[in-house]
Amino acid sequence: MPTRKDQMRLGAFFHPTGHHVAAWLDPGSQIDAGTNFAHYAQMTQAAEAAKFDLVFLADAIATRDGNLQALRRWPQYMAYFDPITLLAGLAAVTKHIGLVATATTSFNEPYHVARRFASLDHISGGRAGWNVVTSSNPSEAFNFGRDAHFGHTERYERADEFVKVAKGLWDSWDDDAFLRDRASSLYFDPERIHFLNHKGKHFAVRGPLNVARPPQGYPVLFQASASDTGKELAAQIAEVVFTPLHDLEQAKKFYRQLKDHAGQYGRSDEDVVIMPGLNVVVAESEKDADEKIKYLQSLIHPDVGKELLSTALGGLDLSPYDVDEPLPEHIVEAERRKNNSRVAYMFDGRPTLRQMYETFGTGRGQRTIKGTPSSIVDQMQKWFESFAVDGYLIQPPILPADLEEFNARIIPELQNRGLFRTEYAGRTLRENLGLKRPPSMYAAEPATSRRAGVRV
Instruction: Name residue 193's beta-bridge partners.
Output: 173
Averaged confidence pLDDT in the chain: 91
| Residue 128 near residue 216, CB atoms below 8 Å | yes
Q: Burial, 174: exposed, middle or buried (Cβ in 10 Å; 0-12, 13-18, 19+)?
A: buried
C-alpha span between 183 and 177 (Å, rounded):
17
Gap between the Cα atoms of 357 and 376, Å rounded: 24
Q: How far, in whole angstroms, is CA 406 from its chain's centroid? A: 19
CA atoms within 13 A on the CB side of 201: 10
Please, which pLDDT band fits residue 18 given cuts at 50, 70 and 90?
very high
Whether the predicted model's global pTM rises above the 0.75 cut = yes
| Beta strands 240-241 and 128-133, pairing class | unpaired
Helices 152-170, 110-124: inter-axial angle, 10-degree rounding: 50
| Residues forming a β-bridge with 280 | 369
| CA dihedral over 227, 230, 235, 239, signed as positive or negative | negative
- Does pLDDT of 337 surpass 90? no
Q: Are 358 and 295 within 8 A, CB to CB?
A: no
Q: At what angle do helices 302-312 and 353-363 cross, to 10 degrees?
A: 70
Of 13-27, 275-289, 439-453, the range with the lowest mean pLDDT is 439-453
Instruction: Give the pLDDT of residue 339.
Output: 65
54-68, 161-175, 412-426: segment of lowest average pLDDT: 54-68
Q: What is the mean pLDDT of residues 284-293?
A: 94
Question: Does the pLDDT value for residue 380 go beyond 80?
Answer: yes
Q: Which of 15-24, 60-69, 145-154 has the lowest mean pLDDT?
A: 60-69
pLDDT band for position 342 (50/70/90)? low
Query: What digits encode the pLDDT tens for the residues 41-72?
Result: 999 999 999 999 999 999 988 877 778 888 88
Beta bridge partners of 353: none
- Reported confidence tier of residue 340, pLDDT bands at 50, 70, 90: low
User: Does the pLDDT at position 128 exceed 80?
Assistant: yes
pLDDT at 279: 95
Strands 9-13 and 220-223 turn out to be unpaired
CA distance linking residue 333 with residue 330, whole number of Å: 5
Give the pLDDT of residue 259. Answer: 96
Q: Check whether 410 has a pLDDT greater than 50.
A: yes
Say whether pLDDT at 345 is over 80. no
User: What b/e readout covers 68-94, taking b as 16+ CB neighbours within 10 angstroms?
Assistant: eebbebbbbbeebbebbebbbebbeeb
Strand boundaries in 333-378, DSSP class E: 367-371
d(CA 106, CA 91): 27
3-state secondary structure of 145: coil
| pLDDT at position 45 | 98
| Radius of gyration from C-alpha coordinates of the chain | 23
Q: Is the pLDDT of residue 140 over 60?
A: yes
Mean of pLDDT values over 78-106: 95
Q: What would the pLDDT profile of 349-360 be if each residue is shown by its tens digit?
A: 888 999 888 888
Q: Is residue 239 pLDDT above 70, yes or no?
A: yes
In this predicted structure, the answer to whether residue 454 has a pLDDT above a threshold of 50 is no
**Every domain of the chain and the residues it spans:** 9-282+367-449
- The per-residue pLDDT for 398 is 95
**Does the pLDDT at position 153 exceed 50?**
yes
Per-residue model confidence (pLDDT) at position 446: 52
At residue 343, the pLDDT reads 74
Per the DSSP assignment, residues forming a β-bridge with 104 are 133
Residue 231 pLDDT:
85
Please write the tens of the pLDDT for every residue from 98-122.
999 999 999 899 999 999 999 999 9
Helix (H) or strand (E) holding 188: strand 186-188
pLDDT band at 316 (very low <50, low <70, confident <90, very high): confident
The pLDDT of residue 336:
77
**224 in Cβ contact with 341 (< 8 Å):** no
Fold category of 9-282+367-449 in CATH: TIM Barrel (3.20.20)
Which of 135-149, 193-207, 285-299 is predicted least confidently? 135-149
Is the confidence at residue 83, as pLDDT, over 70? yes
What is the pLDDT, as a whole number, of residue 1? 54
